[in-house]
Structure 1
Amino acid sequence: MPPTHHDFAWGIMHIRDLPHPDPGVPDVRTGGAFLLWLCGQQLGGQFKALAWGLVNVGGIAASPVPVGLAVQAVVDRDAGRLVLAGGLVLALGALIALGGMMLHRAAVTNWITAVARMQQLLARKTTELGSAMTRRVAAGEIVAVSTGDLEKIGWFVEALSRFAASAVAAAGVSVALVLYRPELGVLVAVGVPVMALAVLPLLPRATRRADAQREKAGQATELASDTVAGLRVLRGIGGEELFLGRYRSASQEVREAAVRSARMWSLISAVQVLLPGLLLIAVVWYGTRLALDGTIAVGDLVTVYGAVTFLLFPLRHFEEIAQAYSFARPSAKRTARVLAQSRPADDRAPGRAPTPTGDLHDPASGLTAPAGRLTAVVCGDPDSAGRLAERLGGHPPQHEEGGDDGPGPVSVVLGGTPLDDLPRDTARTAVLVQDKDPMLLSGTLGELLDVPASGRVDATAALAAAQCGDVLTALAQASADDSGDPMRTHITERGRSLSGGQRQRLALARSLVTDPEVLVLDEPTSAVDAHTEARIADGLRELRTGRTTVVLTSSPLLLDRAERVVLLQEGKAVAEATHRELLHTHPAYRAIVTRATDPEPAMSAGHRTEETA
């Protein structure tokens, strides 16, 4: 039966209902506010788990009654009451089993649905921010949030219903004992709150130690993530041992912090064993005196003893919820910080609109890329090139997005229409930016090239233009099913099984398959040799005929194939002509392209570049 609107309104979900139709808009002001919002999204699930928890814990709490009844029946030699007591034990046993099974099912469902909601929120935020996400939040922190932090928050959500059921049952047993046997009930009613609150002075220190452990664990995770991402570079410079030593030191700090945290939690556990033990001794001692005096019956003493023994059970859940919250609070704070990242407020709404055509103009730099032509841009500063690529794609870098100093830069204009005025989906379809380090997701080559596209360029043509022939041969030889079909060969995460040049060419082929109205390429051939680069330049110009293409590069081979070249200095367009004209007329351009600083050698090098180009 499909879920109804009422089910979703109260947060009652089943595993089969995932993913959530809408994960909602989280309250990310603080970690506590985020936890409160998350629990509020599944009130129905929490109440369901609470109800089954009361069945389970209530059955356990009521078990001393038939036991006491049975003991008194034996003392009084009453067979009828003994049979009744046995029947009650069986009935309570069935209730305990049913309640425990359903409580576990409901609580785990709450855990899974809460984690799924947070995963959807993180995926949505990552999609919204794109590459800006890793510039604002460290990659290691994102990994820590999407793995360990979500599990810790899920643990708190799952433990909440068990704690609530235990708290209600403990209060109910205390009140029942006061009414049943005031002589002993008052002692229990006073002792239970003392036991529950005795660990409160220890919790702040335990929480601080747990926070320190998680902080060091996050730093170690970030270090490991960065090391793995730069493993090829580390091997090239012989830095593996250096970073291995750093990670070894970081892991030892995590171990020491974990031991210090465990000592504190062990102390809390010891206190919660000691105090109930002392209460139990006091109840048995006082109850035995009352039984010897004839004030209470032996069966009543057994019942009270069983009830006090039961109270040890809820106290374990008190410790669990305290520990779960101490772990979940900083995790929720980190998760809320990631989810709080946003782009500047704009008037763009989701959806699609007709894709504009025409010249691409960046008011910040003065760059204009004519429609349907291949324009190359030379920047003396690589960082300036990266910022320009981001702006052309409608994603200004973080420090350009406005703030205390005023609004951000004027939007890039495509065909007279500012990109900020277009629905985001349309803007992303119109302009595609391939950065210096494009990402290759794990999967087959066919899946890599299965991207939203215009249909004008097929995979074969794109691979040929990107000069991927040797890549296809290597993938065909590595085919897992011996089919020899490179399209079915699996590519590892981030393309680590490929060389830098192979990854770069496959990423270029993927961009060419997409065939956007405007394609922006940031140093697309920096990792390939000169002969391959020349063929790529020819293929790129041929395949992108009639489409607007902007290439940020200082390669003479690419510059010579461009229809026009623009020189940027200090973020501003200062010269515009063909590559050969700029080599003859602009010393700064000549120095950048030929990598020369002396004017005369630069000039002669320019002639040599012209001749070889």
Structure 2
Amino acid sequence: MQIRHLPYADPGEPDVRSGPRFLLWLGRRQLGGQLASLCWGLVMNLGIVGLPVGVGIAVQAVVDGSGARLALGAGIVLLLGVAIAVGDMMLHRTAVTNWITAASRVQQLLARKAAELGAVLTRRVAAGEVVAVSTGDVEKIGWFVEALSRFAAAAATLVAVCVGLVVYQPALGVVVAIGVPVLAVAALPLLPRATRRADVQREKAGRATELASDTVAGLRVLRGIGGEDLFLSRYRAASQEVRRAAVHSARSWALIAAVQVVLPGLLLIGVVAYGAKLALDGRIAVGELVTVYGAVMLTQYPLRQFEEIAMAYSFSRPSAKRAARVLSLSRTAPVSGDVPEAAAGGDLYDPVTGVLAPAGLLTAVVCGDPDAAGRLADRLGGHAAGDAASEDAGGEGAGDAGEAGRQSAAGRGGSVLLGGVPLDELPLDAARAAVLVQDKDPVLLSGTLEELLDVPASGAVSTEDALTAAQCADVLDALAQASADGDGDPMRARITERGRSLSGGQRQRLALARSLVADPEVLVLDEPTSAVDSHTEARVAEGVRRLRDGRTTVVFSSSPLLLDRADRVVLVHEGLAVAVGSHRELLRKEPRYRAVVSRETETEAGAGAGDAPHSTATAETTELVDIEESA
């Protein structure tokens, strides 16, 4: 695999059972690159440790006064020098290629997983951890994959040196063959402590980064309450903890590096002393002593690869573990058998909660818990697998529907059904095309308004109609004033990252317009007007109803202005759909609904639960709806 061929057409299915298994899988996927790096590493390393052979021949030739052997020694040195230069260049090339391709593979896998999970990803894993995995952790994983082949080449070189010296000069070769393996594993007892300290440093650094991110995100609020100094002192304390942990970690790795220097030095001294004695006794020639000395001295370079692979594995193992944890997340439970096709125009039904959104109608869902509403919205979009074993399936207040829901939940494992087909069993592309979920905090990517609204769509809804329905006239006026080309065209005005230059209500309405342009078969909106004033909210509700006429729409809201324009309203209480009807019917008959929509206290709800359906709060809510209708 060459860098110019990136990205991969298919990065593959990773082994995410553990961090080491994930690293092993990466290595196997790049077997060709690893073998190429190994071969060039052998060329370079053997060239380096082979230099003493040519030097020894040349020294012995000078002692013996042989010009032919001197030329031979010089030729060997020259040949090995060329091999070292070419091997070093190609090793660097192949190793960097392995690093980049491994990092690219991991990033592609993470991007694919993010696209699969969507907004659910940051609900299961902290956003900061996702960023850390896709940046710093990817680099560490690539480092280990790149260092693995160089380590294998170094290990093979050391074996070749030991065997060669035993054959070349048995007396000194045996000493080297015993000493080199000891040097290679001498640092192993020190690795656990160094690894633990490195883990502590990473943990503290992550906490400090998270604290800094939270402080920056809430800087405006902190300034309002005068809390800058308090959070600054907290960050200063956290950064000092990171510094101390980094110093402790560096000490451990410095000790390992010292061992890798001191022990080879002691071996070298021992070889020289013993070799000098053998040379004085006439048992070996001077050239042979020089050859053995040079070979032992140059083994320090391959031995360094043992230290590097230990560090690379130590740092990449937790990184691979985090990457495997993110990649192991699944949109749905595993399914088997033939993949069904979505039934066009069918009802959307959740057997776990009993929520039913009939085809072609505007259904409003009221939940007392906003977090529960967000999770249910994700379920309806097929973004979160249900667990029927841990939740009770319910109905919509009707016995037949409830029993059907319970049976379906038991039989389908809690999967949301679209036209009777489980969304969890549909291919991801088909499920996303069928159901679109707009989160309560939608994200606007940077770019022009034209680029923002350029989304895959049915073509039935124009951009102008979507913007009109979402009541974006004031947003267009503001963008026209900020148009980059000065012609006043709001479609060419740039929107900053996450729409920070717009107000919360403007961001919500632009996101709503984007969803309306897409015109999916089923549109799920989670609190689409929570940051909009009541007059604009009423017009948005009417615009959505008009533009989505004949299409299935589900709106999660507790706003009377939206609820009164829905074809049907479903009340979800404690995870079950307990009542269905129009907004005004539920206000009169259902005290739990009235408590959520009218913001009644428990006492007020209890007082209005009997024969007093027209409580003060209810009357006020109905009056507000009537006023908005007349407006």
Distance 1:114 1:483, change over 3 A: farther
- Look up the match of 2:506: 502
| 1:310-349 correspondence to structure 2 within 5 Å | 310-342=298-330, 343-347=332-336
CA deviation after TM superposition for structure 1 residue 348, in Å: 7.8
Query: TM-score, structure 2 length as denominator?
Result: 0.88
Any unmatched runs of 5+ in structure 2?
393-408, 609-614
Moved more, 73-82 or 16-25: 73-82
SS of structure 1 residue aligned to 2:564: helix
Give the conservation status (yes or no) of the 8 Å contact 1:344–1:401.
no
How many angstroms apart in 1 are the aligned matches of 2:421 and 2:185? 64
- Look up the match of 1:21: 9
CA deviation after TM superposition for structure 1 residue 312, in Å: 1.0
Distance 1:450 1:51, change over 3 A: same
- Look up the match of 1:111: 99
Moved more, 575-584 or 120-129: 575-584
| 1:366-377 correspondence to structure 2 within 5 Å | 366-377=354-365
Q: What amino acid maps onto 2:463 in structure 1?
A: A
| 1:159-558 correspondence to structure 2 within 5 Å | 159-227=147-215, 240-342=228-330, 343-347=332-336, 353=341, 355-396=343-384, 400=387, 402=389, 410-420=414-424, 422-482=426-486, 484-558=488-562
SS of structure 2 residue aligned to 1:63: helix
CA deviation after TM superposition for structure 1 residue 262, in Å: 0.7
How many angstroms apart in 2 are the aligned matches of 1:312 and 1:423? 55
How many angstroms apart in 2 are the aligned matches of 1:403 and 1:582? 29
How many angstroms apart in 2 are the aligned matches of 1:347 and 1:292? 78
Alignment deviations for residues 271-308 of structure 1 (CA, whole Å, 9 cap, x no partner): 11111111111222222233333333322222221111
Give the conservation status (yes or no) of the 8 Å contact 1:139–1:222.
no
1:567 equivalenced with 2:566 (yes/no): no
CA deviation after TM superposition for structure 1 residue 103, in Å: 0.4
Moved more, 269-278 or 405-414: 405-414
Q: What amino acid maps onto 1:329 in structure 2?
A: R
Distance 1:305 1:251, change over 3 A: same
Q: What amino acid maps onto 1:269 in structure 2?
A: A
| 1:114-125 correspondence to structure 2 within 5 Å | 114-125=102-113
Distance 1:62 1:81, change over 3 A: same
Query: TM-score, structure 1 length as denominator?
Result: 0.90
CA deviation after TM superposition for structure 1 residue 403, in Å: 6.5
Identical-pair percentage: 69
Q: What amino acid maps onto 1:344 in structure 2?
A: A
Alignment deviations for residues 340-391 of structure 1 (CA, whole Å, 9 cap, x no partner): 22221234877x9465214333333443333322222222222332233223
Any unmatched runs of 5+ in structure 1?
1-12
Number of residues of Structure 1 aligned to a counterpart in Structure 2:
599
| 1:147-166 correspondence to structure 2 within 5 Å | 147-166=135-154
- Look up the match of 2:19: 31
- Look up the match of 1:609: 624
Q: What amino acid maps onto 2:570 in structure 1?
A: V
CA deviation after TM superposition for structure 1 residue 99, in Å: 0.3
| 1:61-140 correspondence to structure 2 within 5 Å | 61-140=49-128
Alignment deviations for residues 94-141 of structure 1 (CA, whole Å, 9 cap, x no partner): 111100000011111111111111112222222222233222222222
Alignment deviations for residues 539-580 of structure 1 (CA, whole Å, 9 cap, x no partner): 212211221212111112222332333333333344444334
CA RMSD, 1 decimal: 2.6
Give the conservation status (yes or no) of the 8 Å contact 2:521–2:552.
yes
Distance 1:409 1:174, change over 3 A: closer
SS of structure 1 residue aligned to 2:569: strand
Give the conservation status (yes or no) of the 8 Å contact 1:348–1:424.
no
How many angstroms apart in 1 are the aligned matches of 2:575 and 2:346? 23
- Look up the match of 1:7: none
CA deviation after TM superposition for structure 1 residue 482, in Å: 4.4
Distance 1:305 1:419, change over 3 A: closer
CA deviation after TM superposition for structure 1 residue 46, in Å: 0.7
Distance 1:268 1:442, change over 3 A: same
Give the conservation status (yes or no) of the 8 Å contact 2:341–2:421.
no
